[in-house]
Each structure stands twice: as structure tokens, then as C-alpha cells.
Amino acid sequence: MDSKDRLGMEIKKIMEEEAFDLTLSQKTIDNIIKHRKKTLTEKIKDFLNRKIEVSLAPAIVSVVVLLALILIPQDMFKSQNEKVIYMGSSYVIIRARGEQQ
């Protein structure tokens, strides 16, 4: 197929004239760029900047539980009157009432 014949050259010229001043609008370019793939840093930032809606009651309960776990000493409910004797791979717990384990 010859693209250099007169008809071909005229077709090309007409197409070039029609397309001469066609350019993408800035709005379209911005829309395109908006959809680009994000870098890892941007993904993390987006994740951290997300708005999260939490209802008040569960939030308060969670905070109270968390504070309780942090502030209450771990051995608070442990019996004060017990003694543990380690014997190699086993151990003996001696309580005030005299129970053995």
C-alpha cells in the first residue's frame, strides 16, 4: 500500500490539519495524574491520615480497660501468704492454709 500517492498524501494532510490544535485539557491531565499509582510513603501517609469513626461508649470502655491493665499492679490479687520452692524441674507452693501442689 502506497502512502505517498496523491490520495494518501491528501488524506494525511487533512488529518494533520484536523489534529493540529488538538491538545488535552489541563483538567483531563490533572484527572489522569490523580489516578497514578502511589509510592509506599504516600500509601502510609494516606493510611495514617484516614478518618476513623469510633462510637464513644466502646472507646471509653477500651481506654478504661487499658488504663486498668497499665496501672493496676500485676501481683495485686496474688496471695501474700504463699511461698514457692523450686526443686529442679518441679516446684512446691506452700500457702498459709497448708495446701501443696
Partner 1 sequence: MVAERLLIKNLKQGKEDAYRQLVEEYGNKLFKTCCLILKDREEAEDVVQETFIRVFNKIDTFKEKSGLYTWIYAIALNLSRDRMRVKQDMLELKDELIGNNDLEAQVEMNIDRELLRKEIFGMNSIYREVLVLFYFEELSIKEISNLLNEKEGTIKSKLSRGRNILRESLLKGGR
**3-state class of 65 per DSSP?**
helix
Coil/strand/helix, residue 80: coil
User: Which stretches of the chain bind partner 1, using CB under 8 A?
Assistant: 1, 3, 5-8, 10-16, 18-19, 22-25, 28-29, 31-33, 35-40, 42
Nearest approach, Cβ of residue 44 and partner 1 (Å): 12
- Name the residue nearer to partner 1 (CB basis): 33 or 84: 33
Nearer Cβ to partner 1, position 25 or 80?
Answer: 25
Does residue 92 contact residue 84 with C-beta atoms inside 8 Å? yes
| Min dist. Cβ of residue 30 to partner 1 (A) | 10
Q: Is 94 exposed, middle or buried (0-12, 13-18, 19+ CB in 10 A)?
A: middle
CB of 63 to partner 1, least distance (A): 37
CA distance 87 to 98: 18
Looking up cell 529442679, which residue turns up?
88
Q: Which is nearer to partner 1, 29 or 66 (CB)?
A: 29
